[in-house]
Structure 1
Amino acid sequence: MNKLWKKYKELPIQAKATICYTICNIMQRGISIITIPAYTRILTKEQYGTYSVFLSWIEIFEIIATFRLAWGGFVVGLTKYERERNAYCSSMQCLSITVTSIFLLLYLALSPVINACTGMNTMMTLLIFALLYAMPAIQFWTARRRVEYRYVSVLCVTAISSFLMPVLGVIAAWFSEDKATAVVGARVLVQGSIGLVLIWVNCHNNFTFYNKEFWKRALIFNLPLLPHYLSTVLLHSSDRIIIKQLVGTGAAGIYSVAYSASMAMQLFGTSISQSLQPWLFKKLKEKSYDGISNIMNLSLLLVAVLNLMLIILAPEAVSILAPKSYQEAIWIIPPLAASVVVMFFYQHFVNVEFFFEESRITSAASIGAALLNVGLNYWLIPKFGYLAAGYTTLASYSVFGVVHYIFMCLVCKKNNCPKTIFDIKIMLLIMAMFAGVTVAVAIGYTHLWLRLAVLAIILILLIVKRKVVVGALKQIMKGKRSKSSRL
Structure 2
Amino acid sequence: MSAFKSLFKQTFIYGLATVLPRMLNFLLVRLHTDESVLKSVSDYGDVSLIFSYFVLFNVILAYGMETAFFRFFNKEDDKSKVVGTSCISLIITSFSFFVLALIFQNQIANFIDIKVEYINVVIWILLLDALVIIPFAWLRAKARPIKYSVIKILNVVINLGLNLFLLLWLKDLASESSIFKTIYRPNFEINYIFIANLAASAVTLLLMLPFYFKVKFVFNKKLWKQMMQYAFPVLIAGLAFSINETFDRILLDKLLPEDIAKTEIGMYSACYKLAMFMTLFATAYRLGIEPFFFSHAKTENPQKNYAKILEYFVIFGSGILLTVIVFADVLKVIFIGDEAYWKAMWIVPFILLANFCLGIYHNLSVWYKITDRTKFGAYISVFGALLTLGLNFWLVPVISYKGSAIATLTAYASMMLLSYYFGRKYYPIPYNLKKIGMYLMLSITLSILSFYQFRGNYIIGISMLIVFLGIVYFSERNEIKQLLKK
TM-score strictly above 0.5: yes
Contact 1:93 1:136 in 2 (8 A): no
**In structure 2, what residue type is equivalent to 1:114?**
I
Contact 1:22 1:268 in 2 (8 A): yes
Q: 1:223 to 1:420 in 2, by over 3 A?
A: closer
RMSD: 2.6
Q: 1:63 to 1:285 in 2, by over 3 A?
A: same
Residue 350 of structure 1 and its aligned partner are, at CA, apart by: 1.7
Q: 1:430 to 1:170 in 2, by over 3 A?
A: same
1:299 aligns with 2:313: yes
- Within 5 Å, which residues of 2 pair with 1:74-473? 74-81=69-76, 83-174=77-168, 175=171, 176=185, 177-198=187-208, 200-245=209-254, 246=256, 247-288=260-301, 289-322=303-336, 323-412=338-427, 419-444=428-453, 447-449=455-457, 451-459=458-466, 462=469
**In structure 2, what residue type is equivalent to 1:69?**
M
**In structure 2, what residue type is equivalent to 1:60?**
L
Measure the CA separation in 1 of the matches of 2:96 and 2:378: 24
Residue 476 of structure 1 and its aligned partner are, at CA, apart by: 8.1
TM-score computed with the length of structure 1 as normaliser: 0.86
**In structure 1, what residue type is equivalent to 2:360?**
F
Residue 403 of structure 1 and its aligned partner are, at CA, apart by: 1.6
Q: 1:454 to 1:135 in 2, by over 3 A?
A: same
Q: Share of identical aligned residues, percent?
A: 18
TM-score computed with the length of structure 2 as normaliser: 0.86
Contact 2:48 2:266 in 1 (8 A): yes
Given candidates 38, 44, 47, the residue that maps to 1:48 is 44
Residue 68 of structure 1 and its aligned partner are, at CA, apart by: 4.1
| Structure 1, unpaired ranges of 5+ | 1-10, 413-418, 483-487
Residue 223 of structure 1 and its aligned partner are, at CA, apart by: 1.9
- Aligned-partner SS, 1:286: coil
Contact 1:258 1:332 in 2 (8 A): yes
Higher deviation after alignment, 394-403 or 467-476: 467-476
Residue 268 of structure 1 and its aligned partner are, at CA, apart by: 1.0
Contact 1:228 1:362 in 2 (8 A): yes
Measure the CA separation in 1 of the matches of 2:293 and 2:437: 20
Cα displacement string for residues 261-311 of structure 1 (whole angstroms, at most 9, x for unaligned residues) = 102321112112221222232333225233331231122111121122111
Higher deviation after alignment, 384-393 or 52-61: 384-393
Measure the CA separation in 1 of the matches of 2:279 and 2:376: 24
Measure the CA separation in 2 of the matches of 1:353 and 1:231: 17
Cα displacement string for residues 334-383 of structure 1 (whole angstroms, at most 9, x for unaligned residues) = 00000111011111122321222212221111111111111111211222
Indicate the residue corresponding to 1:5 in structure 2: none
Indicate the residue corresponding to 2:176 in structure 1: none
Higher deviation after alignment, 130-139 or 256-265: 130-139
Residue 12 of structure 1 and its aligned partner are, at CA, apart by: 6.1
| Structure 2, unpaired ranges of 5+ | 172-184
Q: 1:99 to 1:388 in 2, by over 3 A?
A: same
Indicate the residue corresponding to 2:179 in structure 1: none
Residue 113 of structure 1 and its aligned partner are, at CA, apart by: 3.3
Contact 1:231 1:367 in 2 (8 A): yes
Q: Name the count of aligned residue pairs.
A: 458
